[in-house]
C-alpha cells in the first residue's frame, strides 16, 4: 500500500462507537453509577428521567405555542424552567411597582383615508372566479 493512501474501514461507524466506548472506559466516566463511592448518590444509569420528564414537557410546551415567535417560545421555556426550579418565588413576588404603571405611549392621530380607488374590497368580482358557474367548469 502506498504511504499517501489513507486507511478506510468497512464498518467505520462501528469502529467509531467502539473507540468512543474505549475512551470513556479509560477515562473512568463509563458506568460510574456502579462504583461503590457513588452508591449513596442515587445516580441514574440512563437519562430516561430527563427525556421523559423535562425534555418531553418542554417539547409539549413548544408544540402548544408553535405559532408564536421564537423570542416568545424562549420566554415560555425560561418561565417553565423557572417555575420548576428548586425554590421559585411566587409570581406575585416577582411583580414590582414599575409593572403596575407601564409607560404610556402617545396615541397617533387617525389619518384620513385616501379618496382613491379601493385596493382590497369584500365584494365579488368575475376576475377572481367567484361567480356561480354553469355547465362543466364554467363552460356552457
Phi, psi of 42 (to 5 degrees): 55, 55
Percentage, residues of the chain above pLDDT 90:
19
Continuous H helices in 4-69: 12-27, 48-49, 56-64
Task: Summarize the confidence of residues 90-117 as an average pLDDT.
Answer: 75
User: Using one digit for the tens of pLDDT, what is the confidence trace for 33-75?
Assistant: 777 887 778 777 776 766 777 888 899 999 998 888 999 999 9
What pLDDT, on the 0 to 100 scale, is given for residue 72? 92
How far is Cα 57 from Cα 50, in angstroms, rounded to an integer?
A: 10
Task: Summarize the confidence of residues 106-111 as an average pLDDT.
Answer: 73
What pLDDT, on the 0 to 100 scale, is given for residue 16? 92
pLDDT greater than 70 at residue 125: no
The angle, 0 to 180 degrees and rounded to 10, between the axes of the packed helices 56-64 and 70-83 is 140
Question: Cell 470513556, residue?
Answer: 24
Question: Which residue ranges make up each domain of the chain?
Answer: 12-98
Task: Summarize the confidence of residues 15-29 as an average pLDDT.
Answer: 90
What pLDDT, on the 0 to 100 scale, is given for residue 130? 58
What pLDDT, on the 0 to 100 scale, is given for residue 1? 46
Q: How far is CA 66 from CA 42, 52, 72, 74, 82, in A?
A: 37, 20, 10, 11, 20
For residue 56, give the C-alpha cell: 418531553
Which of the two residues, 2 and 16, has the higher pLDDT score? 16
How far is Cα 68 from Cα 62, in angstroms, rounded to an integer?
A: 9
Amino acid at each position: 500500500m502506498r504511504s499517501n493512501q489513507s486507511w478506510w474501514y468497512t464498518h467505520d461507524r462501528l469502529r467509531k462507537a467502539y473507540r468512543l466506548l474505549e475512551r470513556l472506559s479509560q477515562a473512568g466516566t463509563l458506568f460510574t453509577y456502579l462504583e461503590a463511592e457513588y452508591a449513596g448518590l442515587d445516580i441514574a444509569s440512563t437519562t430516561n428521567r430527563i427525556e421523559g420528564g423535562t425534555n418531553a414537557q418542554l417539547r409539549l410546551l413548544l408544540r402548544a405555542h408553535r405559532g408564536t415567535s421564537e423570542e416568545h417560545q424562549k420566554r415560555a421555556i425560561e418561565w417553565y424552567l423557572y417555575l420548576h426550579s428548586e425554590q421559585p418565588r411566587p409570581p406575585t413576588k416577582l411583580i414590582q411597582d414599575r409593572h403596575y404603571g407601564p409607560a404610556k405611549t402617545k396615541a397617533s392621530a387617525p389619518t384620513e383615508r385616501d379618496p382613491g380607488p379601493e385596493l382590497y374590497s369584500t365584494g365579488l368580482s368575475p376576475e377572481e372566479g367567484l361567480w356561480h358557474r354553469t355547465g362543466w367548469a364554467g363552460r356552457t
